[in-house]
Amino acid sequence: MEEEALDMGEITISDWYGHADKMAEIRFRTIARRLPSLVRQAMGVAWRASPRDTLCAVILNLLGGVFTAFGLLATTGVLTALFTAGPTLGRVQTALPSLALVAAAAAMRATLQAGAGWAQSRLNPQISRLSEEELYRQTSEVPLVAFDDPDFHDALERATSRGMYVASTVVTSAIDVLTAAIGLIAVAGVLGVLHPGLLPLLLLAVLPDAWAAVRAARMRYTTEYALIPVHRRKWIIGKLLAERSSAAEVRAFTMRGFLLRMYDAVAVAEQDVRLALARRQTITRLIGEAIGGLGAALVYIALGLLLAVAAIPLAIAGTAVLAIKSAQTSLANLMYATNRLYEEGLYFTDFTRFLDFCADRHHPPSTLPATAALTGFRRIAAENVTFSYPGSDAPALRGVCLEIKRGEVIAFVGENGSGKTTLAKILAGLYEPDSGTVFWDDVDLADVHPDAVRLRTAIIAQDHTRWPLTARYNITMGTDKGEPALHAAAAIAGADDVIAGLPHGYRTLLDRRFKDGCELSGGQWQRIAVARGFHRDADLLICDEPTAALDARAEHAAFEGLRAHADGRTVVLITHRLASVRYADRIYVLDHGKIVEQGTHEALIAADGLYRDLYTLQAAAYR
Ligand X SMILES: Nc1ncnc2c1ncn2[C@@H]1O[C@H](COP(=O)(O)OP(=O)(O)OP(=O)(O)O)[C@@H](O)[C@H]1O
**54 versus 421: smaller Cβ distance to ligand X:** 421
Range in contact with ligand X (rule: CB under 6 A) among 255-263, 410-418, 485-493, 580-588:
410-418
Burial 563-573 (b: 16+ CB within 10 A, else e): eebbeebbbbb
Segment (H or E) for 384: strand 379-387
Taking CB under 6 A as the criterion, which residues in 450-469 touch ligand X? 462
- β-strand partners of 599: 587
Nearest distance in Å: CB 397, ligand X: 8
**What is the pairing mode between strands 540-544 and 435-440?**
unpaired
Handedness of CA 13, 15, 17, 20 (dihedral sign): negative
Range in contact with ligand X (rule: CB under 6 A) among 39-47, 107-115, 256-264, 415-423:
415-423
Please select the residue that binds ligand X; options are 14, 88, 254, 416, rule is CB under 6 A: 416
Please select the residue that binds ligand X; options are 371, 392, 479, 616, rule is CB under 6 A: 392
Nearest distance in Å: CB 429, ligand X: 16
Q: Is 526 in the site for ligand X (CB under 6 A)?
A: no
Q: Is 419 in the site for ligand X (CB under 6 A)?
A: yes
Q: Is 599 in the site for ligand X (CB under 6 A)?
A: no
Nearest distance in Å: CB 384, ligand X: 18
Q: Is 420 in the site for ligand X (CB under 6 A)?
A: yes
Q: Is 618 in the site for ligand X (CB under 6 A)?
A: no
Q: Is 123 in the site for ligand X (CB under 6 A)?
A: no
SS3 at position 146:
helix
> Residue 190, Cβ neighbours under 10 Å: how many?
25
- Binding mask 219-238 toward ligand X (x if CB under 6 A, else -) reads --------------------
Taking CB under 6 A as the criterion, which residues in 37-56 touch ligand X? none
How many residues bind ligand X (CB under 6 A)? The answer is 13
Please select the residue that binds ligand X; options are 338, 349, 421, 598, rule is CB under 6 A: 421
Alpha-carbon distance of 319 to 78, in angstroms, equals 10
Q: Is 570 in the site for ligand X (CB under 6 A)?
A: no
**61 versus 422: smaller Cβ distance to ligand X:** 422
- Binding mask 131-170 toward ligand X (x if CB under 6 A, else -) reads -----------------x----------------------
Please select the residue that binds ligand X; options are 54, 169, 422, 570, rule is CB under 6 A: 422
Nearest distance in Å: CB 602, ligand X: 24
Q: 230: closest CA among 273, 190, 187, 259?
A: 273
Which pairs with CB-CB distance under 8 Å and at least 24 residues apart come from 510-518? 510/466, 510/467, 510/468, 510/469, 510/470, 510/471, 510/474, 511/468, 511/469, 512/244, 513/244, 513/468, 514/468, 517/468
- β-strand partners of 383: 437
Q: 424: closest CA among 389, 452, 462, 392?
A: 462
Please select the residue that binds ligand X; options are 146, 396, 538, 610, rule is CB under 6 A: 396
Q: Is 271 in the site for ligand X (CB under 6 A)?
A: no
Alpha-carbon distance of 287 to 292, in angstroms, equals 8
- β-strand partners of 586: 410
Please select the residue that binds ligand X; options are 389, 439, 467, 473, rule is CB under 6 A: 389
**Residues, the chain, total?**
623
**423 versus 498: smaller Cβ distance to ligand X:** 423
Q: Are 460 and 532 in contact (CB under 8 A)?
A: yes
Nearest distance in Å: CB 574, ligand X: 7
Which one-letter amino acid corresponds to residue 275? L
**264 versus 591: smaller Cβ distance to ligand X:** 591
**224 versus 597: smaller Cβ distance to ligand X:** 597
Which one-letter amino acid corresponds to residue 50? S
Helices and strands (H and E) in the chain: how many: 20, 10
> Residue 131, Cβ neighbours under 10 Å: how many?
25
Nearest distance in Å: CB 454, ligand X: 18
The CB-side HSE value for 623 (13 A sphere, CA atoms) comes to 6
Residues at the contact surface with ligand X, assessed by CB under 6 A: 148, 389, 392, 396, 414, 416-422, 462
